[in-house]
Structure formats: C-alpha cells, structure tokens
Amino acid sequence: MKQLDYVIEKCAAAMNAGIPVLYLETDDMSMLDELLRSERLLPYWYRDCDEGWKQLSDDDKASRVKPENVAIFNGSLSTYFKDVNNTTEASTYTRTSFVPGYTGFQYSRTGVRGGVPQVIAVRNYRPDDSTAKALERLVSEHLSAMPGDSILRSFIILQSPVVSLPAGLEPYVEVITVPRLGDDEVADIIRRFALREHEECPYPKLLDSMTLNFRGFMRGKIEQMLRKILLECGTLSGIDVEEVSLRIIGDEKKQMLQKSGLLRNRELGDKEASGLERIKDWIAKRKEIFENAIEAKRDWSLNAPKGVLVSGVPGTGKSLLAEETARILGIPLIQMDMGSLQSKYHGESEQNMRRLISLAESLSPCVLWIDEIEKAFAGVKGSGEADGGTTMRSFGTFLTWMQDKKAPCFIFATANDVSSLPPEFLRRGRFDRKFFTFMPTKEECRSIFRSIIGGRDGRTSHLFDPEIFTDEYLDELLAFCGQKGKFMTGADIEGIVDDAKFLVYLDAKSRNNHVRPACAYMAGPFKKALKAAVLDARTYGETDMDKVVECLMLLGKEQFVPSSATNVVDVSRVNARRMEIPPFEGMPNGYDELLYKKISETLDEIRSERHPQRMEL
C-alpha cells in the first residue's frame, strides 16, 4: 500500500470511530499538506452529523462538499484562543472552486475568522503548557457536543517525528506512524522527475541502485538530490550517473547522521583484521545480495542478511572485523551510540530507540555496528526495578526490529561477555550466524605481525628489512613467546611491535650514527627489540587465561562458529557441561601446542576449584 493511501485509510478509520485527534508520527512536514489537500477525506470530515449526507449519491456528494476553513499552525496551538473572533496567526487554506473530475483543490491563503475551523492542523507539533490547554479544551468541546453540533465536524491533526501528548488525552488520540516510501513509490518519483525534466528514465540496473539508496528519504528530498545529479551529470541515464548519485546520496546520509545525534559515521581505518578467513568468506558471499537487493527481493524473494554476532576473547579483532565487513560489502559503516538513547524524561528513551531504528533503515544499505552490545543493554533482566522498565522496553523494540527487518541494514554486533545477554537475544532469527574469535594460532600470529609491520596494502613495508617478513624469522620469535608463556592476542601483538619500534628508534638516536641503513628497522636489531618487548609485556594469555577458558566453555555451549579456519581447540567438540576439551590435533610448532597445554592446565585448575570432590575421585 502506498504511503498516502495508508495514512488516509488510518485517518478515515479514526474519524469514523469519532476520535477527535489524529497524530502523524513523521518528520515529513509536507505529508500534512498532502493529507489536507486530499479529497478522499472530505466525507469523513462531515461523518454522520448530517443525516441527509447518507442519502446523497457519489456525484451529489462530490458537488456539494464544501469544506470550511483549515487552520494550520506551526509548532504550537498557543495562539489559537488568543482572539477567536478575529484573525488568528495561523496559516489557512480555503477551497475557492471545484471542477468535477479535478483531483485536487484550489486554495486561497486567508486568516481564520470566527467560528471553529473544520480541521485544526499543527505542523511540527511541540508540546507546551498553552498547547496542552488548547488541546484539552478542543477535546472537551468535542466530547460535550450534542448530535449535529458543528464541533463534531472538526478534527485536530498533529504532526511531529516524536509522539508527545499531554497526560490524560491519550484515549482521544489516534497515533498514525507514517511508513517510509516503498520501493515502487521511490522508483515512480524518479520516473516522474525524469519525465518532467524531459529526460530518459534511468536504465533498469541504475534505477534499482538509485531506488535502493533513496530509501528512507522524503519525496521532496529525493527530488532535490535528483536535481543535483541532473545538474552535475546533465542526464539521468549516463554511465557516470551511478557514481555521482552514490556520492550525492552518501553526503546527504552523512548530514542525516550529524543531525540525528543517535548514530555516528565511522570512517574505515588503515588496520586490517588479519586471519579470520571463515567469517570474511561468509560475508563476501553475501555481497551480491547487497549490490542487487531490489532484484533479489523482487525476482528471488531473498531478503538481505540480518547480521552477525561476534564474541570472543578481548583484543582478537572484533572491532576491526566491523570495518572489514563494511569494506567487503562496499557500504558505509555507522556506529550506534547507546549513550544518546538514554533520557531522563519518561518515554523518550523508547522513542529515541524507534527513531534510531527508522534512521538506520533510512541509511541502508549500511553496516550498523553495535560495539560491546552486552554493555549497551546492560541490566535488562533487572531494569523493571532499576529504571521503571525503560531498558527492557527499548531492548524489546530492538529485538522485534531485528526479527522483522527487511531493509539491507547489516547488524554487526560484538560482545566480550555473552553470558550477560538474555537467551532470546542469542536464538536463531536475530542473527544469521554467531561467530567467535579466539586466541590466534601461530599461523594467524604470523599474519598479524606482517599486517601490523607492513601496514594495510604494504604501505610501510619499505621501512623494514625484508627478512623480517619471512616465516623463519617470525617462527623463531613466536617459539620464544611460547617458551616464555607469552600467548598473545592481536592487540598484544600491536603493542609489542610499537614498543619494539620505539626501542630501535631510541637505540639509533643514542648511537648518533649518521650512516643511514638501507631500512629503518634491520632484522637483527629489530628481533632483539621484539624479544625485549615480549619479555616486558603482560599479554592477555599470560594474565587472563582463566577468562580465556571460561569464554571457550561459554562459546561451546552457545554453539558459536569459529571465525578462523584453524583453532588451537576445536570448539565444536567442547563439552561445556563436563568442562572438557578435545585433545590437541595440530602439529607441534613451538607455540600452538604450548598454548593448548596452558589452556588445558587452566581448565584443570578451574574444574578442581568448582568440583573438588569429583577431582579426588
């Protein structure tokens, strides 16, 4: 159903039921004018007050309908009762002529003089004390009216992006959430614009791309951007139009983000999420749907993927994976700012969540990154006592959206502690897949070292002796780390490399050697500095192995899928109930088998502490 048809149908149903106040929940102020100019609501404005109306034929109704004044206020009703017998400060439109078969009205702009306007509309409604009193008075007059009174022919229509009503008026208000323009409507706007500008309609693939990226914008904003595209390209169907349109639409979406305060645009950094091939491959295979979302839905009945939940050991690349996902899919990365959702006023937090969801869908296709989601919805289980249920209601709204969403908004949620998330969040239907990141293997550590030292796309590799990138060089270093019990995450490796570079820099400055070597970091001095940095570091696998083991048990219980092709422990064979792990099946390499041994020893310690009697037996 088209946007305007849906709104008219809801308004008509409310008017038939005798509800005096209609509330349009939308930020599109032009929707109110479109509604007021529609002939289709006129019979409902008269309702059943005139018994003779029922006896008229459709032609007679069309010829006799003459609406009274429609008063349009901006923001507030505070001026409505200022001087009801004289001209108010409202903008008004009065029908001046009617031509049979004509689908619209001709209006003259006048002031409201005397009597009660048939429709009192408030554009971009803002609650205040005077407006509350005006609404209460109008509703009271409506409820106190006798059959046939003219007040029964009057309705109040409010419009604003966030619903806010005076207490006590809720039963007399029908809230109508205005849906976004459908894909067919957006495509029709583009076609009509091209026809009006004497241009060719964009070819099918370009039309689908523009339609997908125009999702969430209002009619007027779409036409503004089409005009920009036309001015820059001189046509709507050239080979450069898609690139220009994506840039113009992208700039407009950045403006939306800045104005909202609920989401943040995340620029993609230079760091690479090394390893983690399984999740990268899974995402890459779904790129085709994002590039052809409309065709996939129309011809194959395929919806865009919902998203993934990535949990695991802190510092193992979850945040970098969010950027990698956006880079693979070729769509923007936006980050949810949970702090901006919270409000001290009753009901505003829930409204902010609904606005955030609407905005995220408007910005699609995009990756919506929710970092440490367990903290974002912390206290859900006890929120009924702590905050009157605000967090629980916001969480419920978000869960429902995750289940039902069809827009190509890919949710990338990360969690360090999934045990604090409610069970309903982890069940199938919220996410397409649940991945985990674990302590990197020797092979992954080599890849991480190379990525950090060389920089993304090898931009800094010229600073290092080529020997540093060899397997033999890195294997010796990692064997040293394993022997010292320094088991590392990606974050640990980055810190060790930075420390080593600093040590080499200080050594070079202290020598004051004016003979510049071929590379800034030669193999020998850099290896010495790396080993010194390793000994000085307190790695996560060294200090928090108990947390690593607990994470392993929990991920095994919740049936998470590994993000990497190889793992020190096969999580699919972990028995979380008995706290048992399968035997080591890799090749001894001086690092992986020592990491497995440390995990196994820590697991035995935890098991003996929790079940001392079982261990004695």
Mean pLDDT of 291-297: 82
| Of the listed ranges 88-97, 285-294, 398-407, the one predicted with least confidence | 88-97
304 confidence band (pLDDT: 50, 70, 90)? confident
Q: Mapping DSSP to helix (H, G, I), strand (E, B) and coil, where does residue 181 land?
A: coil
| Token output for 311 | 């949990």
- 598 vs 519, higher pLDDT: 598
- What per-residue string of b and e applies to 429-440 under the rule 16 or more CB within 10 Å gives b? ebbebbbbbbbb
Instruction: Write the CATH number of the domain with boundaries 266-437.
Output: 3.40.50.300
Query: What tens digit of pLDDT does each residue of 184-243 get?
Result: 889 999 999 988 888 888 888 888 888 888 887 888 889 899 999 888 888 888 778 888
Residue 87 has a pLDDT of: 42
Residue 517 has a pLDDT of: 66
Q: What number of other Cβ atoms are within 10 A of residue 54's Cβ?
A: 8
Residue 441 has a pLDDT of: 92
- 486 vs 82, higher pLDDT: 486
Please tell me the pTM assigned to this model. 0.75
Residue 59 has a pLDDT of: 60
Residue 525: burial class (beta carbons within 10 Å; 0-12, 13-18, 19+):
middle
> Kind of pairing, strands 173-177 and 119-123?
unpaired
Residue 309 has a pLDDT of: 92
Chain-wide mean pLDDT for the chain?
79
Residue 112 has a pLDDT of: 38
Mean pLDDT of 381-393: 58
Query: What tens digit of pLDDT does each residue of 393-414 get?
Result: 777 888 888 888 888 889 999 9
Closest CA to 367 of 424, 417, 308: 308
| Of the listed ranges 53-57, 233-237, 274-278, the one predicted with least confidence | 53-57
295 confidence band (pLDDT: 50, 70, 90)? confident
Is the per-residue pLDDT at 83 higher than 80? no
Residue 444 has a pLDDT of: 92
> Kind of pairing, strands 263-266 and 333-336?
antiparallel
Q: CA–CA distance from 250 to each of 311, 331, 568 (Å)?
A: 30, 10, 42
- Domain map (residue ranges) of the chain: 3-177, 183-260, 266-437, 441-617
55 confidence band (pLDDT: 50, 70, 90)? low
- 512 vs 111, higher pLDDT: 512
Alpha-carbon distance of 588 to 63, in angstroms, equals 92
Mean pLDDT of 242-249: 87
Q: What's the gap between Cα 34 and its chain centre? A: 29
Query: What tens digit of pLDDT does each residue of 118-174 get?
Result: 778 888 888 777 778 878 888 888 888 777 666 766 788 888 887 888 888 888 899
Residue 382 has a pLDDT of: 53
Three-class SS of 24-43: EECCCCHHHHHHHCCHHHHH
Residue 296 has a pLDDT of: 84
Is the per-residue pLDDT at 388 higher than 60? no
Is the per-residue pLDDT at 458 higher than 90? no
Residue 25 has a pLDDT of: 87
Mean pLDDT of 254-280: 82
Q: Are 362 and 217 in contact (CB under 8 A)?
A: yes
